Amino acid sequence: MIKTIVIGAGVMGASVAYRLAQAGAVVTVLEATRIGGGTSGISFAWTNAHKKPPKPYHDLNVAGMKAHAALAGEFGATPWRHGGGSLEWVAEPDRAAQRENIEQLRSWGYAAEWVTPPQLQELEPDIDPAAIGDAPVAFFPEEGWLDPVVYAHAMLSAARVRHGAKVICGARVVDLIMTGDRVTGVRVADGTRYEADTIVNCAGRWTNEATRDAGLHLPLAPTVGFLVFTPPVAANLSRVVRTTLINARPDGAGRLMLHWNPTDEGLAFNTPVSPSMPQARDLVQRARQLFPSIGKVEPEAVRIAVRPIPADHLSAIGPVPRTSGYYVAITHSGVTMSPFLGALVADEIIGGRQRTELADFRPARFFN
């Protein structure tokens, strides 16, 4: 039996661990903090392949959406997954690009349509039509969002209970153990050593902290993401909306999760954040213009995280050159793609196949 170590218990590590264990590997997951305690726990988590060229990258995202849907057949209930599609309207200068995107998505067979004002009112009756004006509204019926920590926990529970995987939290990998050029294990912060035939690094933005060998480091181009949460409010939002005012989605018990790209750009990861900061209040005021029924409400919580983005913005999935036994699985849009990527990684490591879907996303492109 192939012995494997998965570093990290976010959506990627959980998906990889589940599929490895299901394929017959002996799996140990080493997680520095807690399940979902990294970027996965601070994600807008919109499942989409909405604007993700080139085509092979779009295809990976579509496959991720389908893999999420297929989990219903495997797990019965998938309470972490929410559908409902997504709505989008954009400012005047961006409308030509929006039309082009929709045409391209349709030509790729992706569900994308325009909705009329009465249809929109039926979908989201609490949106103020004045906030839309004359903007055309697009609807992407197959999109949705995820509760990533609930998902990661479900995958790891299944890996443990059904297939005997071990999940060890509080175990921070500080270095790889090498035997010649081969990676044969890892050392964690308390000095414990774990041995394996294959190590899969799913540590997200912390990928490079798991090895001191700079020659094995993956170049990253991380960005900061800032989320604001309202308390439970009087708005019956039931899907992702991306608008000229704010991006929003439900976050349980009547709360809204809010995101606004321009705000991200003004923040650094070490910016101290609090619900009373002007940026948080600004996002809630924007949400109020969209949903007047929420009333005068203050932010309840804010969270900031760093997106794990390989330097060319595409996924990095595969063996790391110069070694054997060492594989990385690092990507942005990991919430969308992880169930599919987990299956591909297991098929390569246990099934011994080279998955053509990953041909454009090999880490080797960074190591010439």
**Alpha carbons within 13 A on the beta-carbon side of 321:** 10
Q: Min. distance of Cβ 82 from ligand FAD in angstroms?
A: 12
Closer residue to ligand FAD in complex, CB, 83/292: 83
Closer residue to ligand FAD in complex, CB, 112/257: 257
**Stretch 301-320: interaction string toward ligand FAD, x if CB under 6 A:** ----x-xx------------
Among 60, 112, 131, 202, binds ligand FAD (CB under 6 A): 202
* Contact (CB, 8 A) for 191 and 175: no
**Stretch 93-132: interaction string toward ligand FAD, x if CB under 6 A:** ----------------------------------------
User: Which residues, at least 6 apart from 233, have a Cβ–Cβ distance to it below 8 Å?
Assistant: 254, 255, 256, 291, 293, 294, 295, 297
When asked if residue 282 is in the footprint of ligand FAD (CB under 6 A), the reply is: no
When asked if residue 12 is in the footprint of ligand FAD (CB under 6 A), the reply is: yes
Alpha helices in the chain (DSSP H): 11-22, 55-75, 95-107, 117-123, 148-163, 261-265, 278-290, 334-349
The DSSP code for 310 is B
Among 86, 211, 263, 336, binds ligand FAD (CB under 6 A): 336
Crossing angle for the helix pair 11-22 and 334-349, to the nearest 10 degrees: 30
User: Which residues, at least 6 apart from 274, have a Cβ–Cβ distance to it below 8 Å?
Assistant: 280, 302
Closer residue to ligand FAD in complex, CB, 166/292: 166
Give the integer Cα–Cα distance in Å for 9 and 34. Answer: 7
Residues 18-77 that bind ligand FAD (CB under 6 A): 30-33, 37-40, 42-46
When asked if residue 185 is in the footprint of ligand FAD (CB under 6 A), the reply is: no
Query: What sign for the dihedral angle of Cα 3, 7, 12, 14?
Result: positive
Window of 19-27, 49-57, 160-168, 330-338 that interacts with ligand FAD by CB under 6 A: 330-338
Q: Min. distance of Cβ 38 from ligand FAD in angstroms?
A: 2
Note the Cα 25 to chain centre separation in Å: 25
Q: Which residues bind ligand FAD (CB under 6 A)?
A: 7-13, 30-33, 37-40, 42-46, 172-173, 202-206, 209-210, 225, 227, 305, 307-308, 331-336
